[in-house]
Amino acid sequence: MAVFEGTFAHTETFRFAIVIGRFNDLVTGKLLEGCQDCLKRHGVNVDPQGSQVDYVWVPGSFEVPLVARQLALTHRYDAIICLGAVIRGQTPHFDYVAAEVSKGIAAAGFQTGVPVIFGILTTDTLQQALERAGIKSNLGWNYALSALEMASLMTQVKGLTDAAFQAGGTTPPTLPASMKSAIATDASS
């Protein structure tokens, strides 16, 4: 048997997308800074004009999963990092948004096979969110670290899968043409 584990080295070929909710941007901007700092310290070019990281701003956390899934369907990225902040208020709105965002981000990864990192803060107060976005620590760093590790791990797992198919004398399964065209249509819209 073997042990597979992601590493944080050899990042120069990885591509990432970062989807950031604009709502609560005081918090999400800080998360983004932590995320960029981690990626940069691990050899990733975080320049928006570069070729390794694409940045996508959406209105709020609720819109993050939809865009993350669309990006994952392109298969251009080794991992997608989702950043947002949902802060409890006086209505049940928090519960609905937090639950749907969580489910949507998980589904995006499951449906596409691309690591989609859950970087959505769900807190009771703005103070708690700020503490997690830089006052005490910056979880943006952790989210980027997870993306690096998962990108590396998935490269290993995909290599294992490809090697298994080659050893068996077959090629990896392909999608039917109708599914390919549906995905291409989704990705281009």
Catalogue the active-site residues. 93
Q: What would the 3-class secondary structure string for the chain be?
A: CCCCCCCCCCCCCCCEEEEEECCCHHHHHHHHHHHHHHHHHCCCCCCCCCCCEEEEEECCHHHHHHHHHHHHHCCCCCEEEEEEEEECCCCCHHHHHHHHHHHHHHHHHHHHCCCEEEEEEEECCHHHHHHHECCCCEHHHHHHHHHHHHHHHHHHHHHHHHHHHHHCCCCCCCCCHHHHHHHHHHHHC
